[in-house]
Amino acid sequence: MTNEMLEVTAERTTLDLLLWRRFRREVPGLVEETLRRNPGLARLGSMLPVGLSVKVAIPNPEPKGRRAAPVVTLYD
């Protein structure tokens, strides 16, 4: 995997929110991998300070055959 640097630009940003804003999907294990690549990041607390640069691994693209589950509502 290659690396990318992400910068925290808004207050009240958590690590998982930062990753969601960049990749627009859940990537299993990416939060843990990001914590491993950035020693001391967890000590900053749940809200990351504005201006912080975070090294992130770029995950593989989502498989093409994956489809969203059908939505079930109470009113169908």
Tell me the C-alpha to C-alpha distance, in Å, between residue 74 and each of 57, 62, 69, 71: 40, 30, 16, 10
pLDDT of residue 62: 67
pLDDT of residue 76: 61
- What is this structure's pTM? 0.77
pLDDT of residue 69: 80
Q: What are the per-10-residue average pLDDT scores of the chain (76 residues)?
A: 90 95 91 95 94 92 71 82
Domain locations in the chain? 3-45
List of residues 6+ apart from 28 with CB closer than 8 A: none
DSSP state of 10: S
On the 0-12 / 13-18 / 19+ scale of CB atoms within 10 A, 9 is exposed
Tell me the C-alpha to C-alpha distance, in Å, between residue 51 and each of 7, 9, 13, 28: 6, 6, 11, 26
